[in-house]
Structure 1
Amino acid sequence: MNTDTSTSSTSTATTSNNNDLLCVQYGFPDGKGPHRAPRLQMISEPIPDGAETVSPIYKIPREQYEYQRDMENPYRVGGGYKMKATEIQDECQADDRVLYPIHIESDVYHEEGPETLLSWFREFVEDYLDVPFDTCTLYFSGRRSIHVHVPRFVSGEADRERLKELAKSYCRETGANLDLGLYSEKRIFRIPGVEHAKTGIPKVEIETEWDRTRIFREANGATPSTPATYADVLWDVFGQARLTAGTSGPDMDASKNLLQEHASDKTLLEFKPDESEDEIETPLIERVDEHPEDPADVPEWSMYNTQEFSPYALASGNPRSVAALRVKDGAFARRDKRGAATMVPAYFYGAIGCNGGFTKHDVHAPLQLSKMDYRKWDYSPGEKVVIIGGKSGSSRIFSVSSREATEVGHALRRDEDGRDMALNYLAEQGYDIGASGSATSSSRETTASRSGEYSNEIGTIWPARENQGNDVEALQWKAEQGDIHTLSRGEKVSLACRFLQNGWQPTWEWFEEQFGSTFKPEVTWRNLKGIVENPDFEKYDDVDVPPKPT
């Protein structure tokens, strides 16, 4: 046996090749073993008794694997490390010798329901990752989540970060709530078949067509066995045809076969060029703050510089937005606005946002487009367009006649049932407005609530009115015009104090939307937490501070 008391030459980084072994680190619950095992194991070795979680895959030379396997005390490591496994993992990360399995999760199963989660997962997998959703394996976590195992890896730290940014972008554009912490280095994942520590319900495979009742019934009555090896888990996710090259079954050397496939890139996620680079696809146009003196110049200035209309804002729990407009020019972006989101200069016949509180009538302004909508945007200046948007970020967009655009615009002016009238009119003209049809009574309720006191509805932060009712609303108006960076710290605190009366999440989302690409989650969390817990501020007894973002 060898006792490692310093960084040995056998543990130096080695260039990856097809003779490397695929190894993982297992995790254990309290009382059943170390939180993380001090040694790495090959994926073809038996999963240790009591193990619940497993790490990404690390490619290490055989001699390095055998050295750490035979160490008498893997906790006696030099270089500031507490265990040998961590040292090897860091070396693999530095040399891009890590395969990250692509998992997708969301912890809002009980709040949103399986149908919503599955729609998010399908959209992200097919539209953003370009992988057929029916090739994925789905599991119920046993408590509050659905886990999606995608038959792809990302290789190396740069692509792991790309995947994380892609998931962030999807959530930002659609309002989806995915667990972004999955895409961190050394993240561990629960093994299929393992019981959830708080419910005793195992992680079991489910089908896309199952509803909440069926999922719970199947999971609660299941007694699955845990896989014998992590290679077996990969076989279930990737399938024999994808995982091996010319082999006949999982009894083959799984590490070697998977490496052969990795060498041919058949299991690696391919990033589209426009998604893997931090580039702005549309021309950048700088904001012009000064309002033109000549009234004839106001329309052109407005369609580039006034508050944009977003078909997706405040969509959660609200009906769909509707807008009728005339395209005025080609798409553009501003680097400091909505994270350089795509905008289209437009004249609005009429528009109503998802929450009913943001409208436009007979004005020039930018139309904001999600990445999904911009991909299918094919409308020229002068065309009349109706866009019906919502939480998914994938809108229904129609080219309409001048009369139809005018009729929809007139309908949207109505205080009570304008949204319903507009949607019903479009349906009567033969347009497929979607399965949800008209907005029904929910639109009337949402619109009516806007007449109440400014921003006083719990859980809702309405856009500020142009004719502000108080100083705080004036600050909000200024921020929503793209000028939040000009506010002092005290002014931002005043806004936060007001918004926190509506809850943590609406406040967080408002600041995230205003700051766009410059939003700093840890700084925002620290500042909001300070307000909630500071006795000098108004008490927020009903506001729960979530865990610090990572």
Structure 2
Amino acid sequence: MYVLTPQQYERHEGIENGYAIKGESSIAKELQDECESDDRVLYPIHIESDVYHEEGPATLIRWFREFVEDYLGVSFHSCTLYFSGNRSIHVHVPRFVSGENQRERLKELAETFCTETGAELDCGLYYAKRMFRLPGVEHAKTGLQKVKIEPEWNHERIFREADSATTEVPDSYADVLQQVFVSQESLTVNSLKSPLDDPLALFRVLDGDKTVLEIESDNQEIETPLIEQEQYPDNTVDAIKWLQYNAKEFSPYALAGNGRSVAVVRVKGGAFARKDVRNGTALVPVYFYGAQGCAGEEFTKADEHAPLQLSKRDYKKWDYKAGDNVVIIGGQSRNSRIFRIEPQQAAVVGHTLTDDDPGRQAALDYLQSQGYDVGKAGTSGNTSTSKTTGSEIGHNSALSMRGSQTEVAALQEQAEQGDIETLSHMEKWRVACRLLKWGWEPAWEWFKKQFGANFKPEITREQFESIIQTFPEDYDHIKVPPQQ
């Protein structure tokens, strides 16, 4: 079907003989070539196999059904089948492909099907200007008409139909397309009259979205998974995921002669490895509440996403899933103490580790006061004689995390009168703690207003939920809205 422009239509109508020769080519071919170059051609999808006598009708029908349903995604029951009158079965599929690229893709798809299944379809059909026999036309070699058949018919039934048929030849191929397409209500838009009573129904009532098939190219580029991409992502959410697998890893064992490391993390996924990172050792994507390596502040993680390194011994006993809050206390033996803790405890330990004072030892003291076994070297001495006990550290740390109301109010005012980016991460966190007391929506809208175009909904949600999990008794009145 060639879609003519008004000018082309006028040229066509102004010629008495559509095949009049102009130079060395016919006017019809000129119009066809112009439409093809502009992608203004709709190609009805036909399928044909010329090995009817060698393979038999049942095999051909099986090939056709598989190609139509598995490769084209069209119901085979909607197709119209014909015996050619000699050695072929023709399938008229109630779909078009539009333009030369799609015609080529249809040809490639048919060739792929034949290669993968051993079927023998006539892929020569899928060329521009290819002629196709009309129903009712007698075959020159046998004198038998091209007749409509049913998929369950055997050889004898097909030839009996062809031998006795007196099918009237349609006036044009448009009549054939009308029978194939318009007679199916699922492919038409609403019409006030019966489509088959209208000679132009094919063009007026077909639903283009349902009848034009889009075939994807087999050569389409395969997207590199996010975590394997080399470039830092522009999207903030993607960047968080990317960092969990590509940021500098934290080693609980580096420079172990200087003491023990302490890290508190929220697990984000399963273990993985990279050949170029520490000889393929096990890594786990995590969010670090806080961490200090064996060398102290030289190896620190604070409120960031990155991989956590595991030794072979630690990997064997790693039994944690995404969402777990985990402490790992590492050292020279590379056989760390690893255990789950509660979200509020994780927040306290993380804050303690990222403060200059008291640091790793205070974190260990706090964990021990909460009943966790941190090992014989867990405390710096008798906890009963320490100036600050583990429980006091936890209480004081929780208070300092949120700050006094006067201090936080000043931070909020500073952000409102200036730039919220002048606040550190912890200062923003403290403001969020204050605002959430009034509810999720007021806090959300405040941050959205302050950040403007730089507002990151995913990060804001993650921080709000972290606060609510850390201090559940203070925010039990808040109902977290569903993620959109």
TM range (shorter): 0.3 to 0.5
**TM-score for the superposition, normalised by structure 2:** 0.43
More helix by share: 2
Higher relative contact order (CA 8 A, sep 6+): 1
